[in-house]
Amino acid sequence: MIDLDTDICVCNSLSVKDIAKCIKENNIETLDELLENKVCPVGDKCIACKDEGYNNDGLNLPLVLLMVKKKMA
């Protein structure tokens, strides 16, 4: 199980929990919507959170989006 306090968007200091909350509150459905939102900016400083994850561990924005869709976060 993934620790919900793990930072995903390190540049903006946002954890899985923070990003999931933003996705839910703003009815974000796609990665593009998530990247373009102005409420909780993510993926705007580096690209690690979009692809391989900050620690090259695969924990990234698409994973958080999927976790919210599957009600895992």
Q: Which residue has the tokens 């939102």?
A: 37
In this prediction, residue 30 carries a pLDDT of 97
| 55 vs 19: which has the higher pLDDT | 19
Q: Is the pLDDT confidence value at 1 over 90? A: no
Q: Is the pLDDT confidence value at 24 over 90? A: yes
64 in Cβ contact with 20 (< 8 Å): yes
Q: Give 73's pLDDT tier (boundaries 50, 70, 90).
A: confident
Domain-by-domain residue ranges, the chain? Answer: 7-69
Separation of alpha carbons 70 and 73, rounded Å: 8
